[in-house]
Amino acid sequence: MRPDPDFSDIIVGYRRIALAIAIGVMGVVLVRFVVFFGFAGPEVVQALPAGSLLVGMVLLAILAFGHRWMSRRLTVLARVWSEARASANRDALTGVFTRAYFLEKLSADVFHNSERPVGYLQLDMDNLKQLNDSAGHAAGDAALVHLSRVIQSVIPGAVVGRLGGDEFGIMIPGHDNKPALRRLGEELLRQLEKPVPIGGRPVRVSASIGVALSPQDATDPADLISMADLALYKAKKGGRRAVVAFDPDMLGDERQRRFIERELRAALMMNELELHYQPIFAADMTIRSYEALVRWRHTVRGMISPAQFIPIAEESDLIEKLGDWVLRRVCADLPVLGMPVAVNVSPAQLRDAEFASRFEAVLAQTGTRPDLLIVEITETVPLDAGKIELATLAALRARGVRIAIDDFGAGHASLQYLRGFAFDIIKIDRSYVANLGANRIDAMIIAAICDIARSLPVDVVAEGVETEEQLRQLRLAGCTGFQGFLLGRPQPLQKHRAAAAA
């Protein structure tokens, strides 16, 4: 028997078996006909029972052989078809299942009233875009292939599917132990941390993982993915490169997130946000500029911290709307303030290739001079030499907008920032200023930053100045600007207007 039968071969074989059985039956009928009409002699009649038994046994043997033959052929054919279908539903790059086929397999194991346990991991590769931007898409593809191979080597019995560009689903049928599932994910991350040559240089691939179980956490495949996705979101929010198991308390966090997003969208439409301006002082203690800080006074919940709503805005299309609202409001308030104003811009905004042109369009519509605006980008989220981000900053600077690095020293790429692109202002992170009197190393770091700034040359602004002693030491270190509660708190425009009038 050939290992890969065609269905037409089975039909032909079936017809031959049926023909043999039909001939046997016809033979028996013919003999009975001859005996019935008296055409056979006595010796034939005597031999008829034995002959009928023999023919019946032959027919049964043919029937048994045919059934076994067809069963084996159909089993092999079903296997071949299943393998062919699975092969057709493999992701072309990584070799794991496609999204549609993986979800079909998941639905076959996870359904209402099913008592069979299923372990599920939702994995998201960290910083794929940065790798694509810095080393090219071929390097990003190689990292994805490496990731899929590590998954299959660490969890060989798992069903793995590529759900999106850098997102994978991992199903482990029969797995009902969440701590063990989390340990599997942690082992996966440990294996990924081993450097591999990608794009001509050693690269450590990292990922974030969310874990959920069926039927413990969900009895519907879509719900199971949602639970794992909530855990994944918490892993990414906590700094990435982590495994987090779903906990029912996360549902409350998700409801809060959806509430914030819905209410923030309404607040933007109804113009219910506020801008507070904190002054930045020069060395002679005169105001040199302001920083615009967005505030949200909710009608029911009172003041909602920017730390709560800005990350949520960055995960949706709201960050674009929020940034546009802040910029237009600043442009409208500039004549009252009479000084340049700094606006904070998130990495999500910089990744938009149209950001610089939209920024310039707002300035043109409001008649605002570019040199009156400063764009602050946070150093805690590195640019990794992303082409779009750098091009956006270069375009803004070419139009006369100044660029400031906020929270300098709080991230892990400070020196790369100093040499990676052109900027105008360094804002030293408040953690260095807070420890200035107690930590000699922090004082040395601040002095070194000021020395580097003088040679570039750029301005150095110290954030979080709260005591006279801090102000004195910062002046001695060479800072050219100062910001903090000691000198001035953030205040709405009305108070600045009243102070100017007085």
pLDDT tens sequence across 443-470: 898 999 899 888 888 999 999 999 999 9
Q: Supply the pLDDT for residue 2.
A: 46
Domain layout of the chain by residue ranges: 7-88, 99-247, 267-501
Long-range contacts of 469-474 (CB under 8 A, 24+ apart): 469/436, 469/437, 470/433, 470/436, 470/437, 473/436, 473/437, 473/443, 474/433, 474/436, 474/446
Q: Supply the pLDDT for residue 203.
A: 84
Which among 250, 208, 260 has a CA at the least distance from the CA of 230? 250
Range from 128-132, 154-158, 383-387 that averages highest in pLDDT: 154-158
pLDDT (average), residues 484-490: 95
Beta bridge partners of 201: 198
Q: Supply the pLDDT for residue 215.
A: 92
pLDDT (average), residues 106-110: 92
Q: Between 421 and 29, name the one with better pLDDT.
A: 421
pLDDT (average), residues 397-407: 93
Task: Quote the pTM value.
Answer: 0.64
Instruction: Give residue-wise pLDDT tens across range 257-284.
Output: 888 889 999 999 888 899 999 999 999 9
Give yes or no for residue 75 having a pLDDT over 90. Answer: no
CATH topology of domain 267-501: TIM Barrel (3.20.20)
Q: In 61-173, at which residue ranges do the beta strands (DSSP E only) sit?
A: 118-125, 159-162, 167-173
449 CA to centre of own chain: 35
pLDDT (average), residues 405-429: 77
Give yes or no for residue 325 having a pLDDT over 60. Answer: yes
Rounded distance, CA 421 to CA 408, Å?
14
Q: Between 52 and 473, name the one with better pLDDT.
A: 473
CA distances from 369 to 268, 278, 288, 323, 333 (A): 25, 21, 16, 18, 13
Question: What's the alpha-carbon Rg for the chain, to the nearest Å?
Answer: 36
Give yes or no for residue 303 having a pLDDT over 50. Answer: yes
CB 110 within 8 A of CB 220: yes
Give yes or no for residue 74 having a pLDDT over 80. Answer: no
Rounded distance, CA 196 to CA 482, Å?
45
Domain 99-247 coded CATH 3.30.70.270:
yes
Task: At 430, list the tokens.
Answer: 């408040």
Which among 312, 207, 212, 210 has a CA at the least distance from the CA of 259? 312
pLDDT (average), residues 88-106: 90
Range from 3-7, 42-46, 437-441 that averages highest in pLDDT: 437-441
Instruction: Give residue-wise pLDDT tens across range 186-208.
Output: 999 999 988 888 877 888 888 99
Rounded distance, CA 372 to CA 202, Å?
44
Long-range contacts of 310-314 (CB under 8 A, 24+ apart): 310/346, 311/237, 312/257, 312/260, 312/261, 312/264, 313/261, 313/264, 314/346, 314/348
Range from 3-7, 41-45, 134-138, 268-272 that averages highest in pLDDT: 268-272
CA distances from 396 to 95, 320, 404 (A): 43, 17, 12
Task: Please give the single-letter amino acid code of residue 50.
Answer: A
Q: Supply the pLDDT for residue 216.
A: 92
pLDDT (average), residues 34-60: 54
Q: Supply the pLDDT for residue 1.
A: 41
Q: Supply the pLDDT for residue 162.
A: 93
Q: Supply the pLDDT for residue 122.
A: 95
**Average pLDDT of the residues of the chain:** 83
CB 91 within 8 A of CB 162: yes
Q: Supply the pLDDT for residue 21.
A: 62
pLDDT (average), residues 26-36: 55
Give yes or no for residue 294 having a pLDDT over 80. Answer: yes
The band of 63, judged by pLDDT with boundaries at 50, 70 and 90, is low
Give φ, ψ of 167 to 5 degrees. -120, 135
Q: Supply the pLDDT for residue 115.
A: 81
Rounded distance, CA 359 to CA 413, Å?
27
Residues 6+ apart with CB under 8 A from 341: 277, 289, 290, 291, 292, 330, 333, 334, 372, 373, 374
Which among 364, 361, 353 has a CA at the least distance from the CA of 394? 353
Give yes or no for residue 3 having a pLDDT over 50. Answer: no
Range from 60-64, 296-300, 329-333 that averages highest in pLDDT: 329-333
Residues 6+ apart with CB under 8 A from 276: 292, 293, 294, 295, 490, 491, 492
